[in-house]
Amino acid sequence: MTIPPLLMGHPLANKENASYALLTMSRIRKFEEAVEDLFGRGMMHGTMHLSIGQEASPTGVCMALNLTDQITSTHRGHGHCIAKGADLMRMVAELLGKENGYCGGRGGSMHIADVETGNLGANGIVGGGIPIAVGAALSSHLMKRGTVAVSFFGDGAMNEGAFHEAANLAAVWKLPVIFVCENNGYGMSSSTELAFKLEKLSDRGLGYGIPGVTIDGNDVAAVYEATEAAVQRAKAGDGPTLLEFVTYRWKGHSRSDKNLYRTKEEIDEWKIKDPILHFEQVVRERGLLNEDEIGEQHRLATEQVIAAVNEAMKGNPADPAGLLDSVFKKVSA
Amino acid sequence: MSTFDYAVIMPKMSMTMEEGELLAIRVNVGDLVKSGDVLFDVATDKIDMEVESPADGVVKEIMGQIGSTMLVGAPVLMLETTTQVMSFDFNTPSPVVETPAEVSIVTPVVIPTSPQGSVKAVPKARVIARERGIDLASISPTGPDGTITWEDISNPQLAGAHDARKAANRKMVAGAIEKTRGIPQISLTRFSIHTTSGLDEGSAHLVSTWARILRRNVHLNLSTISEDLREHVGIALIMESKYGLAMPVFRDPDLMAGNDLLLWMKKTREQARAGKVPVEMLTGATASIFDLSHTKISSAIPLLLPSHTTALSVGAPNASFGHSEISLTVDLRFCDALEASNFLDQLVSAL
Amino acid sequence: MSDRKLTMSEALREAMAIALDERPEVFILGEDIGIYGGAFGVTGDLYHRYGSERVRDTPISELGIVGTAVGAALSGMRPIVEIQFSDFTAQAMDQIVNQAAKIHFMVGGGLHVPLVLRAASGSGTGAAGQHSQSLEGWFANVPGLKVVMPSSPYEAKGLLLAAIDDPNPVIFMEHKLLYKVAGTEDVPEGAYRIPLGVSRVVREGKDLTVVATGIMVSRTLAAAHELDKEGITLTLIDPRTISPLDMDPVYESLEKTGRLMVVQEAPEHGGFINEVIAKVVTSTSLGHLIAPVARLAGMNVPIPYAPQLEKAAVPQVDDIIKKAREVVASWR
């Protein structure tokens, strides 16, 4: 009930694609809002990194990917997981520390992986997933699978050594990997203006000899197009691409963030550029979806999220009894 | 347009937050609010925070009081909203999360202290000392830094404590025999055809048979000291022990099942060898038996111990003829020689 | 060739060739391992035999290399990473400790990381502080990593093949001084595996149980031969895998000798070998000891450069002989 079939294709190609794109973005939005609510009630342990306002990036990228293409994600990875086809119930269950959560309650928000949908995992280390995606691409190359790997990361990760080493390796080996930088303007509290001496982060591609493109990250169609081009490049054996999607996160870095480093005006300005509202406007203008159909996607998304949360809450809490046995994979005789 | 009631709660804003102070309320009942408008300010030990409205609507009711401290999750104000804010079915009982109680990782280490101040000994020496009941303070350490070594405790020449017990035992036996000189006694001997059997089997048979005879002849079962008739028959069987000889007392052995007595006999011999005869077996003897049938001693005159009316000894069977000598010593104040020879006959027939 | 007294380098190379033949998903990556044949010559001619796709030279990017290996391992490959000096694992710590070690556990079992990380470890070549460390203790303290220390060519080949088979990340610490030394045991020609997590009783004696790791195994063996002449006999136990650790032979031996000595190259303070002592002391095995535990380990200093300083900083054969004599004589 909580996993719709994945769909590939341009978000504005037809009614079906448009519905899917809108539903996916709405699911991400509603999921994050639900998480915010549950966390606010003290039902979730630890902290949460919400991606409200950034929904177009994972949606547009994943509409250009197959089920077998792989992704690695970040600490702010709920959107990537959902867009790649994760089961909402198992995601909530994980955040609630239940035994039927994706990680059996052992990983939490930052370590959700879903092997069946090609999701090699969110990552609690900034930049941790970038070399891993390169490895997945290397694997595809060596085994001639024809799949691509996408590494999602933020502007903050581009200053980690891991990004540099991974990008260089992928470039010299011409691996089928796509580096997707979701530039939301801030590391944790440090703005990109203070962390970079660049206007466009995609200019760094030059340093590795790979193409770099900067795109409006709140335009799901533009995101799709840029990704599709990078996928074709990769599959043709021409190596990696650096995509910079400029977007914005509405909520603080995590729940204890009081937003001291930015102004309310800035947040409001970006809320006007809401990717979901923007897409609704486009599909209306193009006559792809009418008002009712738009409302229907939001209703569906809400229904799916509520069902996922209610179901997840019934699950059993993860049991410490199995901990020691879960560290190593058993060696088969 | 349909409206929905939505309670805006005290939010959890950090991992450790459990309650927050309501600093200020920015709206009044009846105010129109838009999604994102600040409704109230809260403070925690770490930060102050503005709580925003999740949807457009009207402030319906204000439950929180300015300045009060509220638990996370408590409702601060009620909104009537035009868009449905997602709400979940929190009333379904969800399984209770049991966070295991703080487990102390420090396991208390019980350090056995020597009552006579700190003695240093290698671990194995301590183990053995405890097993044998040796007081470490009585051992002279030869190891580095005054530490008792394994050799110190396992070398018999140097285990002074062991010798001390032996000496004590000897002294006790000698003391008891000393008293025998004052008792008027006579000793009679006759031959008995001895069926070979195991040491314990033989002793058990002997002990239970003699006990039966004593019971039939009640006046033999008197305490020679108080002249009271005793209710029970207690046979002290002299046997080899760790520190010399021991004399564990078998009470009413004739009333036990043969197998039970045999097992008891075996166990007692083991305990004697370990120097661990139970205390309750050290009293209550009315007679003593010296079973030499498994040694090379052909005969011995059993001496009466204080408070015993009779003492028996059984010698080793003759190598050629197979018979052995049984000697009975009786206290003449309670039994004459003729009676004694009678009892001896009874015993031989019964064996 | 009937003489199979290979060097550790040769033995490791044989193991990797067997793995490359047995499994198409095995490949090797590292700095200078291809055409150059490896900084210590371990990969040798594998590049020529298996090609540049499967024996991959990399730029100097330990973090990127290990991370790429993790990603490949997650996607069906069995990479063997060569880290030129174990000291450089420091560059790659995030991918080793935060990623490889934990992914299987954190994601609830759905993914695993069959990765082998081989590193040249230890002192004695005059390479000084940043190229001579023994860091196995760091990794032994990270749940999710297996840590192996081969002590001889025979051990190295069998353990490496077992490590490659293992579906979990294995840190394989080779001692530099052993690469070019021919072993005393024949190395079987084909494939054989020495199971991880099983200790080996190298020799038995009656006076002292010695647990030694890495290069200290052969040094202790040399010491044992000397001590035999004096009538002092050692039992020598080589754990081979230090994490997970097989202590059973140690407990059994202590019942007979009552004396324990532990020997490692890594610095004493907070080092791995203390785990052996801890396990004895926190168990009833303690009651068998007739002497305090003797411990020989590296000095708590960075490995110095000058040869006499370098030697003085870690236990040598003579140190082992002296200490063993002392323990047996003082504690009867």
Domains and CATH numbers, chain A: 15-312 (3.40.50.970)
Higher pLDDT among residues B200 and C247, named by residue? C247
What's the confidence (pLDDT) of residue C166? 98
pLDDT score of B114:
47
A317 Cβ contact partners less than 8 Å away, ≥ 6 residues apart: A97, A98, A99, A105, B95, B96, B97, B98
Which ipTM value was assigned to this complex? 0.88
Q: Does A45 touch chain B (CB under 8 A)?
A: yes
Question: Which tokens is B91 given?
Answer: 């009333």
Q: Supply C301's token pair.
A: 């200093």
CA separation, residue C317 to residues C12, C176, C210, C314 (Å) = 26, 17, 13, 10
Q: DSSP alpha helices (H): ranges in C75-124?
A: 93, 103-106
Lookup: tokens for A41: 């009630």
Is-catalytic flag, C62?
yes
Chain A partners of B86 at a C-beta cutoff of 8 Å?
Answer: 30, 33-34, 37, 302, 305-306
Residue A139 makes CB contacts below 8 A (sequence gap 6+) with A145, C71, C72, C75, C76, C77
Tokens of C88: 């450089």
CB contact under 8 A, A135 and C70: yes
**Residue C332 sits at the chain B interface (C-beta within 8 Å):** yes
Instruction: Read off the tokens for B277.
Output: 């005869």
Look at strands B287-291 and B323-331 and give their pairing: unpaired
For the cut 60, the answer to whether the pLDDT of residue B103 exceeds it is no
- Kindly report, residue by residue over B251-278, the tens digit of the pLDDT: 888 888 888 898 999 999 988 888 788 8
Q: If you count residue pairs, one on A and one on B, with CB atoms under 8 Å apart, how many are there? A: 68
> From B48, which residue of chain A is nearest by alpha-carbon distance?
A258
Q: Across the interface, which of A47, A256, A317 has its CB nearest the CB of B97?
A: A317
CB pair distance less than 8 Å for B124 and C331: no
Residue ranges in C145-294 assigned as alpha helix (H): 153-165, 215-229, 248-257, 274-281
CA distance C258 to chain B (A): 8
CATH number of C8-178: 3.40.50.970
Q: Do B88 and A268 touch (CB under 8 A)?
A: no
Alpha-carbon separation of residue B259 from B144, B208, B282, B291, B314 (angstroms): 53, 12, 22, 19, 22
| Cα three-residue angle B51-B55-B58, rounded to 5 degrees | 90
A323 pLDDT more than 60: yes
Q: In whole angstroms, what is the distance from residue C26 CA to residue C29 CA?
A: 10
DSSP string, C268-293: STT-TTHHHHHHHHTSGGGGG-SSPP
Which listed residue (C14, C82, C104, C131) is catalytic? C131
pLDDT tens string A220-252: 999 999 999 999 999 999 999 999 999 998 888
When CB atoms are compared, the residue of B13, B15, B47 closest to A46 is B15
> Which residues in chain B are contacts of C291 at CB distance < 8 A?
122
Q: Specify whether the CB–CB gap between B160 and B153 falls below 8 A.
A: no
C288 vs A120: CA distance, rounded Å: 50
pLDDT at B197 over 80: no
Tally of helices (H runs) and strands (E runs) in chain C: 12, 12
- This prediction has a pTM of 0.75
Q: How far apart are the first and last CA of chain C?
A: 49
C330 has a chain B CB within 8 A of its CB: yes
pLDDT at B2: 67
Residue B229: predicted pLDDT:
60
Among B123, B142, B143, beta carbon nearest to C286: B123
Which residue type does C72 have? Answer: A
Helix, strand, or coil here: B191? Answer: strand
- Angle among Cα B26, B30, B32 to the nearest 5 degrees reads 70
pLDDT of residue B233: 84
Distance CA B190, CA A52 (A): 112
User: What is the number of residues in chain A?
Assistant: 333
Structural domains of chain B sorted by starting position, each given as residue range(s) with its CATH number in brackets: 4-81 (2.40.50.100), 120-158 (4.10.320.10), 184-350 (3.30.559.10)
Question: What one-letter code names the amino acid at B239?
Answer: M
In whole angstroms, what is the distance from residue C324 CA to residue C209 CA? 10
Kindly provide the b/e burial profile for residues C62-84, where b requires at least 16 CB atoms within 10 angstroms of the residue's own CB: bbbbbbbbbbbbbbebbbbbbbb
- Band of pLDDT at residue B160, cut at 50, 70 and 90: low
Annotation says C175 is catalytic:
no
Q: What is the mean pLDDT of residues C229-245?
A: 98
Can you tell me the distance from the alpha carbon of A141 to that of A139, in angstroms, rounded to the nearest whole number?
A: 5
pLDDT for the residue numbered B128: 87
pLDDT of amino acid A2: 47
Residues of B within an 8 Å Cβ radius of A: 9, 11-15, 18, 36, 46-49, 54, 72-73, 84, 86-90, 92, 94-98, 100
User: With an 8 Å Cβ cutoff, are A41 and B84 in contact?
Assistant: no
- B329 with B180: CB under 8 angstroms? no
Closest CB to C112: pick one of A133, A166, A329: A329
Which among B29-38, B126-135, B142-151, C165-174 has the top mean pLDDT?
A: C165-174
CB distance C330–B143 less than 8 Å?
yes
Nearest to A113 among C64, C76, C110 (CB): C110
- What is the structure's pLDDT at B93? 58
Of A42, A258, A313, the CB nearest to B12: A42
Mutate to test the interface with C, among B122, B131, B147, B153 (most CBs of C within 10 A): B122
Residue of C nearest to B151 (CA): C332
- Report the pLDDT value the prediction gives residue B166, as an integer from 0 to 100: 75
Residues of chain A positioned with their CB less than 8 A from the CB of C107: 102-103, 106-107, 111-113, 121
Give the Cα separation of C90 and C93 in Å (integer).
5
Handedness of CA B258, B262, B265, B267 (dihedral sign): negative
Provide CATH 3.40.50.970 ranges for chain C. 8-178
Q: Is the link from the previous residue into A320 a cis peptide, with omega within 30 of 0?
A: no
Average pLDDT, chain C: 97
Q: What's the pLDDT tens digit per position in B23-58?
A: 999 999 999 998 888 999 998 877 788 888 888 899
- Chain B residues with CB under 8 Å of C290 CB are 122-125, 149-150
Q: β-strands C55-57, B323-331: how paired? A: unpaired
Do A41 and B97 lie within an 8 Å CB cutoff? Answer: no
Chain C environment of A140 (Cβ under 8 Å):
75
Percent pLDDT > 70 in chain C is 99
Band of the pLDDT at B98, cuts 50, 70, 90? low
Please answer whether residues B81 and B36 qualify as being in contact, where contact means their C-beta atoms are separated by less than 8 angstroms: no
**Chain B residues closer than 8 Å to C329 by CB:** none
Residue B116: what pLDDT?
42
* Closest Cβ–Cβ partner in B126, B142, B150 for C258: B150
Whether A103 sits inside 8 A of C71 (CB atoms) is no
Q: For domain C200-330, say whether CATH 3.40.50.720 is its number.
A: no
A46 at B interface, C-beta within 8 A: yes
Catalogue the E-assigned strands of chain A: 70-72, 149-154, 177-183, 212-216, 241-246
Asked if the Cβ–Cβ distance from B15 to A47 is below 8 Å, we say yes
pLDDT tier at C138 (50, 70, 90 boundaries)? very high
| CATH 3.40.50.920 segments of chain C | 200-330
Q: How far is the CA of A157 from the CAs of A55, A124, B343, C76, in angstroms?
A: 19, 12, 107, 26
Give the DSSP letter of residue C21. H
**What percentage of chain A exceeds 70 in pLDDT?**
98
d(C-alpha B315, C-alpha B295), whole Å: 8
- Nearest of B271, B297, B302 to residue B287 by alpha carbon: B302
Cβ(A252)–Cβ(A258) under 8 Å? yes
Active site residue: C62, C155, C174, C310, which one? C62
Q: What tokens does C185 get?
A: 């045991």
Best A33, A48, A109, A258 member to test B by mutation, with max B CBs in 10 Å, is A258
Contacts of B130 in chain C (CB under 8 A): none
Q: What is the mean pLDDT of residues A179-185?
A: 96
Distance of CA A129 to the CA centre of its chain: 12
User: A39 in contact with B at a CB cutoff of 8 Å?
Assistant: yes
Question: Is the CB of residue B248 less than 8 Å from the CB of residue B268?
Answer: yes
Binary contact (A255, B14; C-beta < 8 A): yes
**Chain C neighbours among B 147-186 (CB < 8 Å)?**
149-151
DSSP lists the bridge partners of residue B143 as: B147
C323: contact with B, CB 8 A cutoff: no
Bridge partner residues of C119 (DSSP): C83, C173
Query: Mean pLDDT across the stretch B177-206?
Result: 83
Q: What pLDDT is stored for residue A3 in this prediction?
A: 57
Could you tell me which residues are beta bridge partners of residue C236?
C203, C210
Q: Residue B230: which residues within 8 A CB-CB, separation 6 or more? A: B221, B222, B223, B286
